[in-house]
Amino acid sequence: MQLNTDASSSLEKSKKTKRVMSLEKKESLQGYLFIAPWIIGFLVFMAGPLLFSLYGSFTNYNITSKMDFIGIENYIKMFTNDPLIWISLKNTLYYVALSVPLTTAGAVLLSVLLNQGVRGTRIFRTIYYLPAVLSGVGVYLLWMQLLSPSSGLVNTLLGWVGIEGPAWLSDPAWTKPALIFMKLWSLGGGMLLYLASLQGVSQSLYEAAEIDGANSFRKFWHITVPMITPVIFFDLVTSFIGAFQIFQEAYVMSDSGDGGPANSLVFFNLHMWNKAFEVFDMGYAMAMSWFLFIIILVLTVFNLVLAPRWVHYEGEDKK
């Protein structure tokens, strides 16, 4: 190749080579050009800040006045001198452990129901998906009204069936269940995924099962569920990661964003935010974020290791 003749190609030479650039080269150049925005974006807006925060976690960085290397002091402080971090971790785990299975099961159930082919499926699909489109703070404020203890719609409805509803967001024992309950409302996003995968399940499998005399529960359990496990797995992993990062809900729905009452809504990220932007202890907050990262990483790896035991890919050769 011409390029090989002179490694330290002068400007003239490189001009020449440009002209006779091979097709292969052109293609790869175009390829790199096409992914360049992402790569640049990743390097500048992700990898850069990521590395910075890793370094920052070993300093007493406070944004404006100091950034001295202090070794692993932040990490030591985390384990020895911050009782709130354990409360926040406990709250977060509580939330993850309840909300992830519930939303996943709810979404699967809902999509199976919608997949029965009854009339009006499209309308129901839209209705159930709608909450997933509405986002953020507006919805939370709406729910704060719905969950109001004496005049809220939720407790009014409960009252009709003779149940005296709890004080939801004012009672520390009910704040997290209230949040989980609220999150169930927006499981339409997951539902849509399942619906798509359900429609991909081959009818011939059901027909074969019917010939063998399988009832509808057995068909669901032995055909539907295994066939959609890849999607369940995907949904589980992503909502797992998402649930660990819960922040907005608690920030908006507790008095002045402090995670009250009685610290019942102090989630890990809320505590981190307070450390970073309320008291400017940015180095410590960075250390906290890396701690959370490691927790999520370990659990996700654990998930991936467990996956082959229950996730079934069509056409896969199981040994």
Task: List residues binding other proteins (CB under 8 A).
Answer: 1, 3-4, 7, 25, 28-29, 32, 36, 39-40, 43-44, 62-66, 77, 81, 83-84, 144-145, 148-152, 167, 169-172, 258, 260-263, 274-275, 277-281
To other proteins, the closest distance from the beta carbon of 291 in angstroms equals 17
* Smallest gap from residue 130 Cβ to other proteins (A): 25
Inter-CA distances, 247 with 63, 88, 177, Å: 22, 11, 15
Q: Of 65 and 204, which CB lies nearer to other proteins in the complex structure?
A: 65
CA 35/CA 105 separation, integer angstroms: 37
Q: Toward other proteins, which CB reaches closer, 66 or 222?
A: 66
Alpha helices in the chain (DSSP H): 2-5, 11-19, 23-41, 48-56, 73-80, 83-114, 121-133, 136-146, 153-160, 175-184, 188-199, 203-211, 216-219, 225-244, 248-253, 268-273, 282-310
C-alpha closest to that of 169 among 159, 158, 181: 181
Q: Which is nearer to other proteins, 70 or 205 (CB)?
A: 70
| Nearer residue to other proteins within complex by CB, 111 or 155 | 155
59 strand-pairing partners: 69
| 275 neighbors 292 (Cβ within 8 angstroms) | no
CB 39, min distance to other proteins, A: 7
| Smallest gap from residue 151 Cβ to other proteins (A) | 5
Query: 152 or 190: whose CB is closer to other proteins?
Result: 152
Q: Least distance (Å) from other proteins to the CB of residue 168?
A: 8
Both tokens of 200, joined, read 């991909």
- In the complex, minimum distance from the CB of residue 15 to other proteins, in angstroms, rounded to a whole number: 14
List Cβ neighbours of 80 (8 Å cut-off, separation of 6 or more). none
Minimum gap (Å) between residue 122 Cβ and other proteins: 37
Centre a 10 Å sphere on the Cβ of residue 254 and count the other Cβ atoms it contains. Answer: 19
Taking CA atoms, 233 is separated from 115, 303, 309, in Å, by: 20, 9, 11
**Nearest CB to other proteins, comparing residues 206 and 280:** 280
Q: What does the chain come to in residues?
A: 319
Based on CB atoms, which residue is closest to other proteins, 208 or 279?
A: 279
